[in-house]
Structure 1
Amino acid sequence: MALNWFKKIVKDYPKFWETYLSYFDENQSKEQRFVVFDCETTGLDYKTDRILSIGAVAIKNNQIIVGDFIEVFLQQDIFNPETVTLHGILKEGKEEKVVEAEAIIRFLDFIKDATLVGHHIDFDIEMINQALDRLNVGKLENQAMDTDVMYQKLKSLPQEQQSSLDELCDIYKIKKSDRHTASGDAFITALLFLKLKKKLEI
């Protein structure tokens, strides 16, 4: 009885969500793939702010796969002009913009079951989860790694001693090109991740 009820709940999910969940089937052959991603947002309150853009790039075999990336800009129903100086995304900019649902579906289709990587990634994941909630589906199932947590582990730092992406780029001599764009920050974080991964011998 309970199983039938569960199946009915699952059956009611939209096709894109069923497809996403299918990537976590235990019977699937697993090829380790990391996806480094970043969200530019209207602010830092995940409950009231919205995603402006998502940038992500894949890593396989300790190499950034330059051709395996996604960048999507979202239509801005909520607009905060004060943050434009930071991310440079205008409400009526030249970029092709899609509705939030389309952006999230594209993102899920790109990440599949990859391990997600980001700098202070909890915020970005929560922004995605809030968008998923507005689509009446579940939360991200992917495992996640935070480059700041990796650095803390490498240097035996306390959890409360956080470092910014800029600070770690300076430490590891990573060029900060296209900083504060989702795709630029994703690529920079990918470079940082590979350096930390090698030092931690993960």
Structure 2
Amino acid sequence: MLSWLFNLEYKRRHLLDKAPEGPLREYLAKPFPDRNTPIDEALLLAMDFETSGLDAKNDHLLSVGYVTLQNNRVSLETAHHQIIHSKRDMSEDNVTIHHITHDQVAEGMTLPQAVEAILCQLQGKVLLAHHAAVEIGFLQQACRNLYGIAPVIPAIDTMQLARQRLERRQQPIKAHELRLFNLRKKYGLPRYQAHNALMDAIATAELFLAQLAHGNYRKPPPLRNFLLRP
């Protein structure tokens, strides 16, 4: 059953009728990429959030990084990194792990500005993320808080693709094997600076290209084969 694929567009149009004027409505007004588009032609936005925790309702965004991907190429000229303003105190663990200082957060872009920029970048694209539930969850929660509506977000999850590959081979799955760093190592990709939103976004984009290259496809599969099911 592929009804969930049709539901993405149905939900987009349904939410468009409810969305207030502004960034969310503009995002929803743009149709999603056709599910039958060859994956190498689909326009993707690799994105990563650095957050104060994993609870989208109670934790907050610290920074976002994103870069576009199309035609088997990471477009580094589109790469962007932004620290997000917060009035809440950061824990020392957040400072140590993410290398973001209190002063940087105090001077960062406001959440409404950051969400507007993200929605603008996502228009007509598919989100690409590693453990995409984090990016989807935090973006939807931010939209609920700002606009009263959580958008539907078509996404590809590199962690889920790795899990499915192991399941097809009936191989045991160890949680640490699915981490971005370890999957990159498996594909012979270079080390990178973890816990930086932009570096993680680029690292995810490169991992996805490696996953495609090792898929042994006769021709590029359609986008629908990779979309994360809701």
Deviation larger for 158-167 or 135-144: 158-167
Provide the residue aligned with 2:162 in structure 1. Answer: 151
Q: Give % identity.
A: 24
Provide the residue aligned with 2:208 in structure 1. Answer: 193
Which deviations, in whole Å up to 9, do the C-alpha atoms of 1:144-174 show, x marking residues without a partner? 1111111122232579744111111221122
Provide the residue aligned with 1:46 in structure 2. Answer: 56
Q: Higher relative CO (CA 8 A, sep ≥ 6), structure 1 or 2?
A: 2
SS of the residue corresponding to residue 102 of structure 2 reads coil
Task: For 1:22 and 1:94, locate their aligned partners in 2 and report how far apart those are by CA, in whole Å.
Answer: 32
Task: For 1:47 and 1:92, locate their aligned partners in 2 and report how far apart those are by CA, in whole Å.
Answer: 24
Structure 1: state its 5+ residue gaps: 1-6
Provide the residue aligned with 1:62 in structure 2. Answer: 72
SS of the residue corresponding to residue 97 of structure 1 reads coil
Task: For 2:106 and 2:199, locate their aligned partners in 1 and report how far apart those are by CA, in whole Å.
Answer: 15
Change (3 A) 1:184 1:138: same
Which deviations, in whole Å up to 9, do the C-alpha atoms of 1:103-136 show, x marking residues without a partner? 0000010111211111111112101111111112
Aligned Cα RMSD in Å?
2.7
- 85, 93, 96: which one pairs with 2:104? 93
Change (3 A) 1:84 1:22: same
1:194 deviates by 0.5
Q: Given the alignment of the two structures, is residue 24 of structure 1 paired with residue 31 of structure 2, yes or no?
A: yes
Task: For 1:40 and 1:196, locate their aligned partners in 2 and report how far apart those are by CA, in whole Å.
Answer: 24
Provide the residue aligned with 2:7 in structure 1. Answer: none
1:18 deviates by 1.7
Q: Structure 2 matches for 1:118-137, cutoff 5 A?
A: 118-137=129-148
On the 8 A contact 2:63/2:197 being kept in 1, the answer is: yes
SS of the residue corresponding to residue 57 of structure 1 reads strand
Task: For 2:95 and 2:212, locate their aligned partners in 1 and report how far apart those are by CA, in whole Å.
Answer: 33
Report how many aligned residue pairs link the two structures.
194
Which deviations, in whole Å up to 9, do the C-alpha atoms of 1:13-32 show, x marking residues without a partner? 032122111112799xx862
Task: For 1:169 and 1:146, locate their aligned partners in 2 and report how far apart those are by CA, in whole Å.
Answer: 14
Task: For 1:22 and 1:109, locate their aligned partners in 2 and report how far apart those are by CA, in whole Å.
Answer: 11
Task: For 1:96 and 1:158, locate their aligned partners in 2 and report how far apart those are by CA, in whole Å.
Answer: 47
Change (3 A) 1:94 1:142: closer
Task: For 2:152 and 2:98, locate their aligned partners in 1 and report how far apart those are by CA, in whole Å.
Answer: 28
Structure 2: state its 5+ residue gaps: 1-13, 222-230
Give TM-score scaled by structure 2 length: 0.75
On the 8 A contact 2:50/2:98 being kept in 1, the answer is: yes
1:12 deviates by 6.3
Provide the residue aligned with 1:105 in structure 2. Answer: 116
Which deviations, in whole Å up to 9, do the C-alpha atoms of 1:159-196 show, x marking residues without a partner? 97441111112211222322110000000111101111
Provide the residue aligned with 1:4 in structure 2. Answer: none
Provide the residue aligned with 1:182 in structure 2. Answer: 197
On the 8 A contact 2:67/2:80 being kept in 1, the answer is: yes
Change (3 A) 1:24 1:171: same
